[in-house]
Amino acid sequence: MAESFLLVRFSAIGDCVMSAYIATAIRNAQPGARLVWAVESRCSPVIDNLRMVSELVEFPRDRWRKRRWSPANWQAQLALFAKLRKDKCNAGIDLQGHSKTAICLRIANPKRRLSVFATDALAKRLNPLVSGDPDGKHRVERMMDGLCTFGEFQLPEFPLMPTPIPATDLGLSSTVRLATISTGAGALNKQYPTEQWREVALGLAGRGFHVRFLGASVDPMIEMPETQSFVGKFDLRQTMSAVAHSTIHIAADTGTGHMAGAFGVPFVSVFGPTDPDLFRPYSSKGVVLRQSNRPSDVRPERIISAVEELVG
């Protein structure tokens, strides 16, 4: 009889992409398994719910935060917990390790449960924790260690990802050398300065690339000749599709770099305060540049040089 698995990874976007390697390992090993993923609604577009997971259980936490103390919010959350508990999965794994995800896994109560990370006191108490140093390996490899306590699984080279929207539907050409640049990052201390992105874009345009800027509405807007900006214009699925169609993708330490790695797209990631040994996009097709805890210390010409080394 096929197994059933519950994966709990609410956020963030890049972390959900990294977790897709784990879900893909399950699907490859057990094609008939039931695989349920509990995720925040804003991150769900990066999860393949056709080939990889059997069901997405979405937690609309952004909406709940707007009415934090509403009884209706608590009722809705309890209803989702009850749904997960009713599934009675054989195995469940918390891939995030926050109180909110630890509570989710504990209430869901699969026959076997495990947490890969535990970032606070409550999370450490609610579920058994995978042995070993949680910061001793890349996050994907640490998550695979956790999964392998349930059986034999192989880490895939690339995870299953949603099918990209066709390039022409996005207003992109499939016959040019497309360089996409994400202008923002999840935290201010991870962002690469706008003026330095401009230098990178100018250098790439001069080398024959069609440069397109990507980002959410809260990310820096960059408009300049010989480029086009989709910042604030594309939703997450459209942004992910643009990354998938890129010849090269360039970003700070943010989710789109992980998307590029997952699609096998060459990438350049500019890191600052976080450790790339733990958090870099999990692919050999890209380059991570880090000079110090400040992303701005990586000079634009170094990024351009890395692009040339990767794709000419």
Which CATH number is 36's domain given? 3.40.50.2000
**Same domain flag for 131 and 199:** no
pLDDT digits (tens, 9 = 90+) for 20-32: 999 999 999 999 9
Within a domain: 118: yes
Q: What is the pLDDT of residue 69?
A: 77
What are residue 28's phi and psi, to 5 degrees? -65, -40
Q: What is the pLDDT of residue 271?
A: 98
Nearest to 96 by CA among 151, 149, 53, 134: 134
Whole-structure pTM over 0.75, yes or no? Answer: yes
**Same domain flag for 186 and 131:** no
**Same domain flag for 177 and 279:** yes
Within a domain: 287: yes
Q: What is the pLDDT of residue 287?
A: 98
What does the alpha-carbon distance between residue 11 and residue 76 come to, in Å, rounded to a whole number? 19
Within a domain: 155: no
**Same domain flag for 109 and 207:** no
Higher pLDDT, 73 or 93: 93
What does the alpha-carbon distance between residue 43 and residue 53 come to, in Å, rounded to a whole number? 14
Q: What is the pLDDT of residue 34?
A: 97
What does the alpha-carbon distance between residue 139 and residue 275 come to, in Å, rounded to a whole number? 11
**Same domain flag for 137 and 180:** no
Q: What is the pLDDT of residue 108?
A: 96
What does the alpha-carbon distance between residue 277 and residue 265 come to, in Å, rounded to a whole number? 20
Lowest mean per-residue pLDDT among 66-75, 126-135, 178-187, 268-277: 66-75
Band of the pLDDT at 221, cuts 50, 70, 90?
A: very high
Q: What is the pLDDT of residue 67?
A: 80
Q: What is the pLDDT of residue 193?
A: 98
What does the alpha-carbon distance between residue 48 and residue 54 come to, in Å, rounded to a whole number? 9
Lowest mean per-residue pLDDT among 31-35, 78-82, 193-197: 78-82
Residue 39 falls in which region: left (phi positive, over 0), alpha (psi -120 to 50) or beta: beta
pLDDT digits (tens, 9 = 90+) for 166-219: 999 999 998 999 999 999 999 999 999 999 999 999 999 999 999 999 999 999
**Same domain flag for 140 and 195:** no
Q: Which domain holds residue 65?
A: 4-147
Within a domain: 50: yes
Within a domain: 51: yes
Band of the pLDDT at 63, cuts 50, 70, 90?
A: confident
**Same domain flag for 188 and 288:** yes
Q: Which of 147, 175, 190 is the last residue of a domain?
A: 147
Over 60: is that where the pLDDT of 1 sits?
A: no
Q: What is the pLDDT of residue 2?
A: 63
Residues whose CB is less than 8 angstroms from the CB of residue 270 and which lie 6 or more positions away in sequence, other chains included: 192, 250, 251, 252, 253, 288, 289, 290, 295, 298, 303
**Same domain flag for 12 and 88:** yes
**Same domain flag for 172 and 135:** no
Q: What is the pLDDT of residue 78?
A: 87
**Same domain flag for 24 and 127:** yes
Within a domain: 84: yes
**Same domain flag for 52 and 132:** yes
Give the number of domains in the chain: 2
Mean pLDDT score of the chain, rounded to an integer?
Answer: 96
Q: Which of 116, 147, 178 is the last residue of a domain?
A: 147
Within a domain: 161: no
Over 80: is that where the pLDDT of 135 sits?
A: yes
**Same domain flag for 100 and 184:** no
Strand partners, 193: none
Band of the pLDDT at 65, cuts 50, 70, 90?
A: confident
Within a domain: 159: no
Q: Which of 89, 115, 147 is the last residue of a domain?
A: 147
